[in-house]
Amino acid sequence: MVPYHLYSFGREIPMSKKIILFGATGYTGRNTAEAMAERGLKPVLAGRNREKLKELSDRLGGLETAIADVKDPASVAGLVGKQDILVSTVGPFTAYGEAALEAAVSRGAHYIDSTGEPGFIRKVFEDYGTRAAAAGVALISACGYDYVPGNCAAGIALKKAEPKAARVDVGYYITGKDMMETSQGTAASLRYSILEPGKIWRAGTLVKSYGAAGVRTFAIGGRERAAILLPSTESFSLPRIFPNLKDVNVYMGWFGNKSYALRRLAAINTALMAVPGYGALLRGMVSLLPESKGKGPGSYVRSATGSHVVAEAFDAEGRLLSRAELRGSNGYVFTFKILAWAADMAARGKLKKTGAVGPIEAFGLEELIKGCGEAGLAVK
């Protein structure tokens, strides 16, 4: 007998059984494992390196471990059973992410990942969403600083502005010390992001777009700060929740005034992608770049930097209707904690919808606001 259930698409979503953290010994993985342990969760730690898994397991009180490698898809599929939760931090996802995604859908497990890559997000929603809904499982992609806070802030702004809101713009910014230090995994993901287009919601439909196709500024801390346009989960999810939306624009403000140069380079890259052979050449060049070794920003950088996420809702004439802001912890810290929170919620039967879903669809806006607060970003 199912002890707790919800209904989605007219079917029952049973309480999940176990959490598997795949990629547990990488930078995001091991920090997420610690965040899960802090919540009292006992995930199965999965990855390629037996010694590193044992070391992490011992440090967290003797958690179960499992060996799996994306080069052996059967080993990844063997991690999960029906209604389990597979949390994947194995990136770059464009190169290595599909084994875990396929394993979850084919075995009937819920899936959560930490990607920020537009092309992989598009694959989750367009290639796997229907299969996941039929299997009765949820796929929550980009469940980290990319792109949970923007979904949350946009949901707040749009709820204030509905039904008049026709457009929402979201901006992600780093605050605190003037330092932008990324993990090697993030750096690799950024490189892969130029290869595969994502999609943005434009004039009431999803259209392909590469990153940095546009630039705008937001008022942050009393000054205007530039940011580049990026495809994201907001474009897939928000129009399903707020059907009057015609445009969803998500901007990343990591690059300051360099955003304008990035837009020009992106325009060149987009044009060259139409040249036969250019895409294959670029993929070959990216594949030769060094892979992540699990390193990332240390505790000093994480404590010295924070986040400011803003969402602005506009009517059809471009008039500002409402604004919502989330402020707080460093984006990496937020990612570790929101992954742990999402896995915990799924394990307790709190999922509200199946298929490929955004975080509001998965948990509801009020719960998501609480979850973002627990992960370090509060509504201001």
- CATH of residue 296's domain is 3.30.360
pLDDT digits (tens, 9 = 90+) for 58-68: 999 999 999 99
pLDDT digits (tens, 9 = 90+) for 51-105: 999 999 999 999 999 999 999 999 999 999 999 999 999 988 998 999 999 999 9
> Does residue 72 sit within a domain?
yes
Give residue 298's pLDDT. Answer: 66
Give residue 221's pLDDT. Answer: 86
Give residue 345's pLDDT. Answer: 97
Kindly indicate the confidence band of residue 213, based on its pLDDT and cuts at 50, 70 and 90. confident
pLDDT at 294 exceeding the cut of 60: no
Give residue 210's pLDDT. Answer: 82
Do residue 63 and residue 118 come from a single domain? Answer: yes
Do residue 339 and residue 207 come from a single domain? Answer: no
Provide Rg for the chain, Cα atoms: 20
Q: Is 17 within 8 Å of 324 (Cβ atoms)?
A: no
Kindly indicate the confidence band of residue 2, based on its pLDDT and cuts at 50, 70 and 90. very low
pLDDT at 193 exceeding the cut of 90: no
Do residue 192 and residue 179 come from a single domain? Answer: yes
Give residue 188's pLDDT. Answer: 53
Pairing state between β 11-14 and 5-8? antiparallel
Give residue 301's pLDDT. Answer: 58
> Does residue 378 sit within a domain?
no
Give residue 182's pLDDT. Answer: 54
Residue that the structure tokens 């709190």 belong to: 350
The DSSP output letter for 329 is: S
Do residue 247 and residue 180 come from a single domain? Answer: yes
> Does residue 370 sit within a domain?
no
> Does residue 379 sit within a domain?
no
> Does residue 376 sit within a domain?
no
Using CB atoms within 10 A of its CB, is residue 115 exposed (0-12), middle (13-18) or buried (19+)? buried
Rounded to the nearest 5 degrees, what angle is found at the Cα of 27, between the Cα atoms of 25 and 31?
Answer: 85
Do residue 290 and residue 165 come from a single domain? Answer: yes
Give residue 197's pLDDT. Answer: 83
> Does residue 323 sit within a domain?
yes
pLDDT digits (tens, 9 = 90+) for 143-186: 999 999 999 999 999 999 999 999 999 999 998 765 455 555 55
> Does residue 245 sit within a domain?
yes
Do residue 138 and residue 154 come from a single domain? Answer: no
Give residue 6's pLDDT. Answer: 34
Q: How many domains does the chain have?
A: 2
Task: Read off the CATH number of the domain in which 18 is found.
Answer: 3.40.50.720
Give residue 271's pLDDT. Answer: 75
β partners of residue 210? none
pTM of the predicted model, to two decimals?
Answer: 0.89
Give me 186's structure tokens. Answer: 């993030």
Give residue 87's pLDDT. Answer: 98
Give me 149's structure tokens. Answer: 């806070």
Give residue 7's pLDDT. Answer: 33
Q: What is the mean pLDDT of the segment spanning 311-334?
A: 97
Give residue 65's pLDDT. Answer: 98
Rounded Cα–Cα distance for residues 68 and 131 (Å)? 24
Counting DSSP H helices and E strands in the chain, the numbers are: 16, 18
pLDDT digits (tens, 9 = 90+) for 244-291: 999 999 999 988 888 878 777 767 767 766 777 756 655 565 555 455
Sequence-distant (6+) residues with CB within 8 A of 235 are 198, 199, 200, 201, 206, 248, 250
pLDDT digits (tens, 9 = 90+) for 38-49: 999 999 999 999
What residues make up the domain containing 236? 148-331
Do residue 241 and residue 286 come from a single domain? Answer: yes
Domain boundary among 290, 309, 331: 331
Give residue 10's pLDDT. Answer: 39
Q: What is the mean pLDDT of the segment spanning 334-348?
A: 97
Do residue 133 and residue 173 come from a single domain? Answer: no
> Does residue 377 sit within a domain?
no
Give residue 295's pLDDT. Answer: 65
Do residue 53 and residue 174 come from a single domain? Answer: no
Q: What is the mean pLDDT of the segment spanning 336-349?
A: 97
Do residue 100 and residue 79 come from a single domain? Answer: yes
Do residue 317 and residue 355 come from a single domain? Answer: no
Give residue 366's pLDDT. Answer: 98
Do residue 26 and residue 44 come from a single domain? Answer: yes
Q: What is the mean pLDDT of the segment spanning 329-357?
A: 96
Question: What average pLDDT does the structure give for the chain?
Answer: 87
